[in-house]
Structure 1
Amino acid sequence: MLIITCILLLLATEIFLFIEIGGIIGAWSTVGLIFGSAIVGCFILRIQGIRIIQRARVEIANQRKPVREIAHGAALALAAVMLLTPGFVTDTLGAILLIPIIRHVLIVTILKFVAAKRNRREDGDSIDGDFKVLNDDDE
């Protein structure tokens, strides 16, 4: 329910901003801004995506797991979706994800959260014991 509420709130905010900004700078300028941000974002995304693929290849060549590169690639994919989605809020969030240091901080925060949640689950009640298989032949 929370996700649906957030999506509806995002849609309402985007529509409100379209109307407000369109009233200030005009409808065609607003449409131009939306398309322009998508084009610029895709260009930046392409450059950064190529760099991440190159770094992943280096990691694989050095026989290391490219975990960081995969995480950055996923964040860039999310940024691309946001930049291609019409709207000022989604464009802003997508542009923020294109900034490498912000993307790094976000990824580290998410990984710490996931690790803490996984450790919490592993610390549950455990019962250790031995067993012996009994067959009819043993009697």
Structure 2
Amino acid sequence: MIFPLFVAMTLLEIYVLASVGDAIGGLSTVLLVVITAFIGSFLLKQQGWATMAKAQNAMMNGQTPAVEMLEGVVILISGVLLLTPGFITDTIGLLGLLPFSRRYFINKILTKNAAKMFTQKKSIFIRTSSNDSKKSNKDNTIEGEFWED
């Protein structure tokens, strides 16, 4: 599923870059891509530090910084999209860096995946290994226990 999406996005980015380059010129298109990258990197740094401060504040108040962690994931994905040259990925990346649209993305992710997260069976895996230094790595025995509720 991801490979066709990657190919389609790449072809769409090339088409948009060629169309914009035809309309405003090649040099202007390259400069516009570079300018959006600089604006995006500035916003990425600013929003990343702001989210880190909010997470630290939540931990100091004894709260779990779950929302801040999700914001950090969206900011990370937005940064990757901003590193990819193109106008569509830059637009999506910039939207991920704006606080109001970032909350929208987080709400969509949570509503889409809430059923999956809360209906899976819980399982625990504990791994123990013997620390016998006389045996080589091939001869080490790994013992483990597995419970499924």
TM bracket (short chain): 0.7 to 0.9
Q: Secondary structure at the match of 1:63?
A: coil
Give distance in 1, aligned partners of 2:117 and 2:83: 34
Shift of 1:115: 1.9
Give distance in 2, aligned partners of 1:118 and 1:82: 26
Which structure is higher in strand share?
2
Shift of 1:114: 2.1
Shift of 1:120: 4.1
Shift of 1:17: 1.1
Which is higher, the Rg of structure 1 or of structure 2? 1
- Matched length: 121
Shift of 1:50: 1.1
What is residue 104 of structure 1 aligned with on the other side? 103
**TM-score (norm: length of structure 2):** 0.76
Which structure is higher in helix share?
1
After superposition, what is the alpha-carbon deviation per residue over 1:104-139, rounded to whole angstroms, capped at 9, x for unaligned? 1211221232221234445xxxxxxxxxxxxxxxxx
**TM-score (norm: length of structure 1):** 0.81
Q: Whose relative contact order is higher, 1 or 2, with alpha carbons under 8 Å and at least 6 apart?
A: 1
What residue identity is the alignment partner of 1:13?
Answer: L
The answer as to 2:94 corresponding to 1:95 is yes
Give distance in 2, aligned partners of 1:121 and 1:49: 32
Could you tell me which runs of 5 or more consecutive residues in structure 1 were left unpaired when the two chains were aligned.
123-139
After superposition, what is the alpha-carbon deviation per residue over 1:68-110, rounded to whole angstroms, capped at 9, x for unaligned? 1111011011111111110111011111111211111211221
Cα root mean square deviation, aligned: 1.3
Give distance in 2, aligned partners of 1:63 and 1:3: 39
What residue identity is the alignment partner of 2:94?
Answer: A
Percent identical among aligned pairs is 34
Give distance in 1, aligned partners of 2:51 and 2:120: 33
What is residue 131 of structure 1 aligned with on the other side? none
1:8-27 residue pairs with structure 2 within 5 A? 8-27=7-26
The answer as to 2:43 corresponding to 1:50 is no
The answer as to 2:70 corresponding to 1:71 is yes
